Amino acid sequence: MTNKWGNGLTEWVEDETTFISVAFTWLLDDAYYRARFARSLGMRVRIGGPAVFLNQMKHRVFDVAEVGGVYPDAIIKHNQNATIASRGCPVGCWFCIVPAMEGKEFTFLPDFVPRPILCDNNLSALPHDYQDYIISRYKNAGVQITDANSGFEPRTFTPDIYNKWKPLINQGRGPWRFAYDDMHERSESLRVMKMLESEPRSRKRVYTLIGNEPFDDCMRRIQETIDNGCEPYAQPVMKLNALNRDPWVRFDWTGQLLKDVSRWVNGWVWKRAKFSEYSSSKKTRRIPETQSLLQITRAAPRDK
């Protein structure tokens, strides 16, 4: 177990039981072979996580592993610095697992352990008194937030909430994260960018989903993010039950175009060249983000 996120698949042993947690559906085949090997050693095998929920017993891994029950604080098995203080999200984005898996009403976890990476799905939509409670828990524990991983929802990220979280997040030097996922969010997303204009560009990370709208709309959102002094992070839209890591190709996109835009954005190539000047054959340096917004930061594993 390290301070960094793994690839979305982790396993551990307690007594005579092997536990497997799978965040991404394209890792279910790997989970199957791990589970089968553990069974061959006479181990009991239990499996859970978002990928398991999404496939609902439709994968061969369920022939060799038990599903069900809860393993508290399972997210720490993916990153020992991660924690979560609430589950659920009231927004209900169509590309997100959270509404189906955790519900559109919040479930509070008041006994959470404060750790540097806070992975709640929607901090700014939480009741104000619970936000205050989370902040006080961190302050009393003397723990700094280095990453509010799933970020804030533009429509509820107000100046009051910004000022509420600012001392804690800025003390930990963590990035301010929010999403500009489609053009319907334009006015609210631009308002948040304006609200954060005094923060350094390097600490304003904006998730910009791509492939969910035509190319021109997605590129407009990316460019507006750059023009407003923020750093975009491009995440190609994927089917939530995909058994391979290929993005979902829609509208006027191609698979290669989705990859090229992702590399241009996440490799910071936009800082030195326009996309029209970008060559996918050149090596680029990627932003060391944690995990996919769509399946890990918005649905931290819990069921085992």
Question: What residues make up the domain containing 172?
Answer: 79-297
Lowest average pLDDT, out of 91-100, 146-155, 163-172, 280-289, goes to 280-289
**Residue 40 within a domain:** yes
Q: Is residue 135 part of a domain?
A: yes
Share of the chain above pLDDT 90, in %: 81
Rounded mean pLDDT of 144-159?
95
Length of the chain, in residues: 304
Residue indicated by tokens 């919040």: 106
Give the angle subtended at the CA of 96 by the CAs of 92 and 100, to the nearest 5°.
Answer: 65
* pLDDT, greater one: 264 or 281: 264
Q: Based on the fold, state whether residues 196 and 244 are members of the same structural domain.
A: yes
Q: Which of 47, 67, 87 is the last residue of a domain?
A: 67
Q: At what angle do helices 255-266 and 215-227 cross, to 10 degrees?
A: 0
The pLDDT value recorded for residue 116 is 96
Q: For residue 88, is it within any domain?
A: yes
Predicted confidence band of residue 262 (pLDDT cuts 50, 70, 90): very high
Q: Which two tokens stand for residue 6?
A: 């793994």
Bridge partner residues of 107 (DSSP): 87
Instruction: Kindly state whether residue 226 falls inside one of the protein's structural domains.
Output: yes
Same domain flag for 211 and 256: yes
Q: Is the pLDDT of residue 237 over 80?
A: yes
Looking at 41, 67, 93, the residue that finishes a domain is 67
Compute the average pLDDT of residues 102-120.
Answer: 96
Q: Is the pLDDT of residue 119 over 80?
A: yes
For residue 111, is pLDDT > 50?
A: yes
Amino acid 56: pLDDT: 74
For the stretch 204-230, pLDDT in tens is 999 999 999 999 999 999 999 999 999
| 54 and 128 fall within a common domain | no
Q: Are 131 and 164 within one domain?
A: yes
Same-domain status, 118 and 185: yes
Of 161, 204, 213, the residue nearest 186 (C-alpha) = 213
Q: Both 288 and 175 in a single domain?
A: yes
Q: Model confidence at 70, in pLDDT bands (50, 70, 90)?
A: confident
Residue 104 has pLDDT above 70, yes or no: yes
Give the chain's mean pLDDT: 90
Residue 246 has pLDDT above 70, yes or no: yes
Is 297's pLDDT higher than 60?
no
Note whether 17 and 130 are same-domain residues: no
Q: Are residues 170 and 281 in the same domain?
A: yes
In-domain check, residue 304 = no
pTM for the complete prediction?
A: 0.88
Residue scoring higher pLDDT (172 or 160) = 160
Percentage of the chain beyond pLDDT 70 is 90
Decide if 223 contacts 271 (C-beta within 8 A).
Answer: no
- The answer as to whether 302 is a domain residue is no
Strand order in the sheet with 231-236: 176-179, 204-210, 231-236
Residue 291 has pLDDT above 70, yes or no: no
Has residue 73 been placed in a domain? Answer: no
32 and 156, same domain (yes or no): no
Is 47 found in the same domain as 176?
A: no
> Quick one: pLDDT at residue 3?
59
Domain boundary at 46, 67, 88, which?
Answer: 67
Query: What residues pair up with 86 in beta bridges, in sequence order?
Result: 108
Contact 68, 108 (CB under 8 A): no
Of 55 and 82, the structure prediction assigns the larger pLDDT to 82
Judgement on whether residues 213 and 100 belong to the same structural domain of the protein: yes
Residue 74 in domain: no
Is the domain of 137 the same as that of 44?
no
Number of domains comprising the chain = 2
